[in-house]
Structure formats: C-alpha cells, structure tokens
Amino acid sequence: MALDQDFIKSHGLGNDYIVMTAPPSGLSWSPEMIQLICDRNYGVGSDGILLLTRDREPFGLRIFNPDGSEAEKSGNGLRIFAKFLYEYGYAKGESFQIETLGGMVSARVTLGDDRLVKRVLVDMGSYTMDPEKVGVKGALAPHIEKEIDLGQGVRISGTAVSVGNPHFVFFVDQIDEDWIRKWGSAIENNPLFPRRINTQMVKVTGEDQIEIRIWERGAGYTLASGSSSCAAASVSVHLGKVKSPVRVTMPGGELTIDVSKSGDVRMEGPVSSVMSGRFSSEFLKELQKCSAQP
C-alpha cells in the first residue's frame, strides 16, 4: 500500500493515534497545531500523533500528546506504528527496530489471513525505579510504596517506575474510576514529579492478573495504554503481588505483559486500523494559523 493521504488513524484497545510522515502541507509543528489535529470536536480526534522521522531501520518515531507535549514512549502507539510500518511497505520483514525518545525497541508483527497486521509484540526494554530516571524530585532512593500529598487532605501511597516514560502505580482493593478521573491530574502535576507522570490504579484479580485504570500524562483518562500496562505489571511483579506473564485488563481490552527476572518487559496485544484521510483546505487554513513560525 502507498501512503497517499495526509494521515492514517488506528487504535490499540480504544487508545487511538494518528500516524503522519510529515507536518501538513509543509507547515511547522507547534503545540497549538497538535492540539487542533487531536481535538475530537474541531479536528480529526485522537489520543496523540505518531510521526515518522526516519524511514529506514531503525525507524524513527516522535510521539505527541493531545496537549501538544511530547512523550518518550507509548506501548499502544508503538503497536500502531509497527502496523503502519509493515502495511505501508517501510518495514520489509515482520521483525524490526524503532527508535523513540525513551530508547530503542524491537517489534514483531503477526499477520492475519488478509496479510494485515492483527497483533504486535514489542520489546519495551527494562523497567527501572531509579529516581533520577523516573524523574522524582530530590529523591536519593527509589520511591516504592511511599506516600504523596495530593492536597485537600488526600494522600496516597504508590511506586514510581519508568519503562522509558514515567509512571506512578498504586494498588486498591476496589477500582474507583471516578476517583482517578478526579485526582489523576493532581498526581500527574504533583511537585514531586517535575516532568509530570502517568498514573495507574491497580487491582490484583488473580495470581497472574491485574485490572487497571489509567490517567495519561498530557492526555487524561484513557481506555487503554501499553506503557501503563507495562508499568503496572512491572511493579506488581516486583512487589511479588503477581507472577509473570501478567494479563492486564483495562476498559479497552487486555494486554499480555511478560516481565523477566532481569527486568526486561515485553508487551503483546491487538491493533486495528480505522481510517485514512486528507485535511480539507478549510482545516489547513486553520492549521496554518497555529503553525510555528520559522
């Protein structure tokens, strides 16, 4: 297939991304432009933009959040990007490498009878609780099951971990979606995490199963997240709450996360395309208004 459109849109368990190979009509990227493209009322609508920056292996990827900021890594985004690379002829084999701000990853696609990519296995690298790599302000030791203050008398204990991007993982007896919707932003923007942080509410549901709810840095509440699943599974295994491989259930569906004894993390799950399209001349004029000036 040839990419003869401005973008394609795909999703991984309801976490949707737009894939592009260049800014629209040669414009320069700006946070405002990204926000408009991702807007679900005034733009295409998505949980972010995946931009191809190098069209040969290792392929280059930049990930933009819907608030205009840039993410180091995205598990669902990587599966979507891997599907794009294979189906649009950039990747010549079923296994290949992708370079992100959060490090190099390996991907292997699984094809259906129609020769389209149905599932992707991604080697996400190793998890770490090193406070400097996670981005915990002033910490000299890992932040493991320690309290943070959210204000208004609310405190919560959790663990800070990085799987190429930063996460705060906390455990509950019962999932409370309203709670994470209310307090997710307070965790994301807590002064303890100057670079902001993703958040996962985790309930252990079996010896190798967890259920999670997700607040993504720069995106808010989301139905699913690959890196969040990796972070939640890694902490769950590290603390001895479950054994690997871990089945991670979210509102959008389920991923399988393998956490090795050495800390390496692999994620496997489905991916589906939605549409491809061109920006209208009217929309391009609106994008031009918020394009970064040279």
Cα gap 11→69, rounded to integer Å: 20
152 Ramachandran zone, left/alpha/beta (phi>0; psi -120 to 50): left
Tens digits of residue pLDDT in 127-142: 999 999 999 999 899 9
pLDDT at 293 over 90: no
Of the listed ranges 56-60, 201-205, 239-243, 288-292, the least confidently predicted one is: 288-292
Structure tokens at 44: 């295409």
The length of the chain, given as a count of residues: 294
pLDDT of residue 108 exceeding 50, the answer is: yes
Answer whether 71's CB lies under 8 Å from 34's CB.
no
Cα(53)–Cα(87) distance, integer angstroms? 17
Which domains are assigned to the chain?
7-125+272-289 (3.10.310.10), 131-262 (3.10.310.10)
The pLDDT tens digits for 155-194 are 999 999 999 999 999 999 999 999 999 999 999 999 999 9
pLDDT over 80 at 294, yes or no: no
Q: Letter for the amino acid at 57?
A: E
Return the pLDDT at 1: 44
Task: Provide the H-helix boundaries in 137-204.
Answer: 177-188
d(CA 268, CA 79): 9
Predicted confidence band of residue 2 (pLDDT cuts 50, 70, 90): low
Kindly state the helix (H) or strand (E) to which residue 98 belongs, with its residue range.
strand 95-100
Model confidence at 4, pLDDT cuts 50, 70, 90, reads confident
